[in-house]
Amino acid sequence: MAKIIDGREISAAVKQQIKEDVVSLYKQGIEVGLAVIIVGDDPASKVYVANKEKACEQLGITSYKYALPAETTNEELLSLIEKLNNDKKVNGILCQLPLPKHLDEKLIINSIVPEKDVDAFHPQNVGKIMIGDFDFLPCTPAGVIEMIKYSGIEMSGKKCVVVGRSNIVGKPMAMLLLHNNATVTVCHSRTVNLKEECANADILVVAIGKAKFVTADMVKEGAIVIDVGMDRDENGKLCGDVDFDSVSQKAGAITPVPGGVGPMTIAMLMKNTLTAAKKQNSK
């Protein structure tokens, strides 16, 4: 049976350090503030935003929530972001995705000033990640790296396979593994011999949004398996992209769903917000 990489335990340790730093800044007269914008009433987005608000409250970070109606226009959203860009109390700005279809996601993301872009989606921050000279990292890939390091797993020289090539997880995940001296293969829907590629991985990161897609025959004996998926199985129960029951019998270590990568994503968002506050107040 694989060792369980417990995201709740690791995120608690990360949050404790953040909390201490927030208190230290507060003593210097600096309050840390995060603005979260949600447009429309997507149920999953509402849950994510509520979790972010809760984390802010736990850590002493001031949370500014802007819940806008689904019919909000690009102009109205851009006007709010401009106001937040210029608000010194707001260190980080997060616009919850996905946005309603009539809104221009690219335009909205690009309108957040890079120094307040705590999701690390702005092209300037993406470029900095590519060259390894970054201020912020995308929260989910950063959380995965934190989990791997916390668990004492060596990345240098290891064969890592990332399944999924999204801009939010797959691509930055590959870059961060490269920065940690891993040899990285990125697989996707057009990959030939996907099963063989996965079965060669010392560290396998799966982020495709397909319930229980990766099965034991796709995993190398003793491999580290990181499941980024958040899906529902045939009974409506939360599960990941990895078939946990079969793969956990073969892997060396595995993240569960829920309780794996999810808690880390929010912890890293808080860390990015803290980093933003420190940088903005050091000028």
Return the active site residues: 52, 96, 119
Bridge partners of residue 118, in order along the sequence: none
